[in-house]
Amino acid sequence: MPRQTDRQVLTEEVLVLFTQQLLTEEQESLNNLLYEESNDSDSDDGKDIPAPQLSEVYLEILRELHSSRYLQQRISILKTPQQLWLPLNVYKKDHPELFRSYLWISPATFDILQIPVDQQLAVTLFRFGHYGNAATLQKVGLWAGFGYGTVDLCTKRIMAAICDARFRWAVMQWPTEKQKEDAKAWIESRSCPSWRDGWLMVDGTLVSLFARPGFYGNTWYDRKSNYSLNVQLILNLHIIDYGVGLPGSQHDATAWKQTRIPQEHGTLLKAEEWVWADTAYLLQTWCQAPYKKPEKDTRNNSRYNYYVSRVRVRSEHCVGFLKGRWSSLRGLRLHINNPRHIHLASIWITSCIVLHNFAMQNEEGEDVEGNEFYREGVCTRMVCRNTGKTMVDAALEEIITTLSKMEWLLKSGEAALKPSKRSTPWVLTHKTSTSYHEPLGVVAAIVLWNYPLHNAWSPILAAIFAGNGIIIKCSEHLLACWPEEAPALTQSRYIKHITFIGSEKVGLKVAQAATVHLTAVTLELGGKNPALILPGTDIKKWFPMWMRGVLTALESNASSYMNRNMNS
């Protein structure tokens, strides 16, 4: 049985009392009437004013109970629209880079998008551009000075306007002949003239959900151990078609059959034209993909795959740019508990795709890759994507730390590498001692996943500044890595030094492999920062620091703790 509200419970109780009292009063009134008829005595000329009946009091209570929508006293929360006023009225005009950092599109694009209610549009773009706790209704409502329900209504209204057929078709048009020719020219510049007719690409991506769906939950579990939706993107230099709504467990080869090209390729594509795909898609005369194992290991096929990758990198950049602009696609904060929720999630993703395409078309003249905010955002989001860190942790622990090392190298690196005098024993007073720094040649660094940007750039900066060449091998837990290549580095006679950051078990294998050619090795292994907790330690004072060391970067710091019971 559904739970009753406090108002419903009180209403039922007062109705019972009112009914009982009304019956009692009617019975008393009937008795009084019979008594008066049997009494022959004349009544007094002055009549008493009747007192209000108790049933009327109950009726007034019911009327008062339903005169307001809220039973409990409402406590107002201090909000201000000032934060929304600044981006729309100050940053938009005087600081377009700050405007873009809040709403994720340029002021010019914002003006062209003729949505009549600018505040609703700003709130929706803010939600599209944030994920995690920053995208909750509470946070967005406090930021904009809106009620939580109003934020949800604004978002739904703007999404309905964006997904309107007229606007969507105007943005997601099939390319003109000139646009097709531009796409073919780009393909030819990345490959060869024979490939210019392969001017389309398809790629699938997963939009993670922040919670397990209640509607056939296991169906949404994908190969990356997340609950997600499958999204298919078909593009040339812009997105021209898409497919949304299927669960993350759906294979790309099946999901993209719901899009337009697989169904109408005979009409949309000329006989000599085709689409580039990855190995997840079925080979067709109009759909080409790289070679798989073992065929890809031959020299010619490996060369073929290399040039296919040079072409298809465009699709990878498109997916990264889409999620970089609209961060909500990195962790969609929507519950999927019924088919209506699936439709809402699909509309959300569609709105992001359409808006991204609209922004790309109207910002073609801008140097997006040269924009400082864009470059910083790409680095920070790549760290978040690899490690799961928050944007703040990624910026403070990775970006700023790496930039500080760059700054030190520029200021003090040259002085540190200059020849320096050393003290000479008295028996060699007739000689002088000088220390020189010379390049080793080619060095290697095998780095851990917990600080992907910092761990990679630190050895790169040091090696190149000292005049060395360097090969970086990232962790297999990152987005792009080839774990089978590790032995080629650790056992190569051309590698003059190896830096390894990781576990003790793997570090031992690296050190053993390096002995084949007596290669110098520097190991940074886990658990290197012990904390001994001695008797008498002020636990309350030091506990927050210990927890910071343990939990920073999702427990990926090399820290270990011991409780040593020492009696002396």
- b or e along 518-527 (b: 16 or more beta carbons within 10 Å of the residue's beta carbon)? ebebebebbe
Cβ pair 561, 550 in contact under 8 A? yes
Residue 66 DSSP class: T
The Cα 87–Cα 93 span in angstroms is: 9
Cβ pair 194, 270 in contact under 8 A? no
The Cα 230–Cα 220 span in angstroms is: 9
- Angle CA 392–394–399, to nearest 5: 110
Phi, psi of 230 (to 5 degrees): -90, 130
Phi, psi of 469 (to 5 degrees): -95, 155
Cβ pair 102, 327 in contact under 8 A? no
Query: CB neighbours of 523 closer than 8 A, spacing ≥ 6?
Result: 500, 507, 510, 511
**Cross-strand pairs, 275:** 200, 287
- Could you give the 3-state DSSP secondary structure of residue 234? strand
Tokens 């934020």 belong to which residue? 151
Give the active site residue among 36, 363, 524, 555.
524
- Catalytic residue list contains 524: yes
Which residues belong to the active site? 524
